[in-house]
Amino acid sequence: MTAAAIEISGLRHAYGDLEVLRGVDLDVARGSIVALLGSNGAGKTTLIRILSTLQRADAGRASVAGHDVAAAPAGARAAISLTGQLSAVDEVLTGRENMLLVARLRRVPDPGAAVDRLLARLDLAGAAERRAGTYSGGMRRRLDLAMSLLGDPPVILLDEPTTGLDPEARREVWAAVRELAAGGTTVLLTTQTLDEAEHLADRIAILHEGRIIVDGTLAQLRALLPAPTVELVEKQPTLEEVFLAVIGAKPAKEAS
């Protein structure tokens, strides 16, 4: 058993001449939430697809729960759940029926009990008998999460879990993700919204020009910028300012 739930070293991937990943190194500790931040096209989805064995890396290694994704893809697949942009929810079925369908497909033992436990865990027990078509965006995303958690995978990969949700629904999903991590599940999520990383993640990794250029806690990332100036109030740099500084971009507006 290794200490980290996800271990990535020297991972490279190119699409033809386009080198997207140029030696990615990243470890994700068990039970932690790591946010992978990067601009459009940075390679976040590519990295998630390699970790979920949907795509092969050109070089380097990656393992999930101790299973090498290239050498032992079946073991890696059994250890992860992937929730992407496309929802697997059937609108005509109720929340519980959606869950039972997936539980039976995955041959989860005692599907009824497993479904009830997850519906409760994601705060959907009260809506379980309603058609999923009547759910709000946040409820639907939580149902998606619940479905992907059937079989209790130790690692979950979330590619932009809250894109398109309103602020309240985002908070519902954040609460559900925090709850999972508190229960020992390891979470790697990608996001383009910096406040999501700021609110949710134990550690933040920034993918830029094919490598992880920064990996640390929010406090460690903030410490990369000069100490906050003390005027009338102390202004901590926002994660957005740190992000733009480390990728070498000009801030949209100069310090006001």
Q: Which of Mg ion, ligand ATP, none does residue 229 bind (CB under 5 to 8 Å by kind)?
A: none
Decide: 64 and 53 in contact? Cβ < 8 Å: no
Which of 64, 42, 44 has its CA nearest to residue 53? Answer: 64
Decide: 20 and 13 in contact? Cβ < 8 Å: yes
Which of 210, 212, 208, 140 has its CA nearest to residue 176? Answer: 140
Q: Which stretch binds ligand ATP (CB under 6 A): 1-9, 41-49, 105-113, 126-134?
A: 41-49
Per-residue x/- track, 170-209, ligand ATP (CB under 6 A): ----------------------x-----------------
Q: Which stretch binds ligand ATP (CB under 6 A): 35-43, 103-111, 193-201, 231-239?
A: 35-43
Ramachandran angles phi, psi of 236, nearest 5°: -75, 140
DSSP reduced 3-state for 63 = strand
Q: Which stretch binds ligand ATP (CB under 6 A): 25-33, 36-44, 65-73, 195-203?
A: 36-44
Which of residues 6, 35, 45, 57 is near Mg ion by CB under 5 A? 45
Number of residues that bind ligand ATP (CB under 6 A): 12
The first and second tokens of residue 103, run together, are: 């539980």
Q: Does 53 bind Mg ion (CB under 5 A)?
A: no
> At what angle are helices 95-105 and 111-121 packed, to 10 degrees?
130
- Summarize as ranges the residues that interact with ligand ATP (CB under 6 A): 15, 18, 20, 38, 40-46, 192
- Summarize as ranges the residues that interact with Mg ion (CB under 5 A): 44-45
